[in-house]
Every structure is written in C-alpha cells, then in structure tokens.
Amino acid sequence: MNTLYVIGALLFSVVIYAVINHIKMKKLSRERGKANICQYVKSFDCRNVDTKIMREVWNEVQLYLGNLNGKPFPILANDMFEGTYNMHPDDLDDIYWAVADRLGIDTGNPEQNPYFNQVTSVKNLVLFLNHQPRSGIT
C-alpha cells in the first residue's frame, strides 16, 4: 500500500511540474508577442552562417514547442534549450538530426567542431550545424 502512495505522489509531482512549465511557457509566449523570424535572424552574421540552417532550426524548434496561446512560440536565438524550454537532451538530439538530415549535413566527427559540447542555446545549435561539413546530399 505504501508503494501506491509513493507512485501516486510521484505522478502528482510530475503533473504539477508539467502544468507549471506549460503556464511558464504560455506566459513567456504572451510577453514576447508574435513569432518573428526576422528578429531571430538578426542575431546571426548572415554572411557567414547558412540561412537554410537558421530557418530549419527555427522550424524544428517551432515543431517541438508547438502552438501556445493559439500561435507559434516566438523563438529567440539566445533562448537556452534547458533553461528556457526545459528541453531534454534527447529532444535536442532529435532536432539536430532532423535538421542535419534535411540539409545534408555530415554528422560524423562532431568532436572536431569548435561548438562541440557547447550547444546550450538555439544560436549555438545553428553555429554547430554551420561548422559541420556538408555531405553533399541536399
């Protein structure tokens, strides 16, 4: 019987955490207003960063976050995956693989990338992907 109480308490805690996180994300979305890719793109050096990567990362993060307040979440380049979005590293990997596959980015030897183990924000993910070699398949 004690086991059921523990399981119940854990489930209750998870539900409360999810509700609080959802409320936090809705509030942040409301404060930021309408999603604006132009503001997001201005955070990058467009002469040295592939705009296709910027766009695909934007799209994939949008898919992950979904629609809050009936509109897409307004992503900023300096948003932290863990701090802002409470994103699990496996979800970040899914975004990375989706963008890399779609754009023909080679995913081998990531240790050679100057942004290796530094992908904590949307901008760092874009820069990491930008520094990976292209596999020639697009």
Domain map (residue ranges) of the chain: 2-131
Decide if 35 contacts 72 (C-beta within 8 A).
Answer: yes
Supply the pLDDT for residue 96.
95
- Mean pLDDT along residues 115-128: 94
Confidence of residue 132 (pLDDT cuts 50, 70, 90): very high
| Spatial CA neighbour of 105 closest among 127, 137, 58, 59 | 137
Q: Which has the minimum average pLDDT: 39-43, 65-69, 100-104?
A: 65-69
pLDDT of residue 126: 97
Model pTM? 0.84
Decide if 54 contacts 40 (C-beta within 8 A). yes
pLDDT tens per residue across span 2-50: 888 889 889 989 899 888 888 888 898 888 888 889 999 999 998 999 9
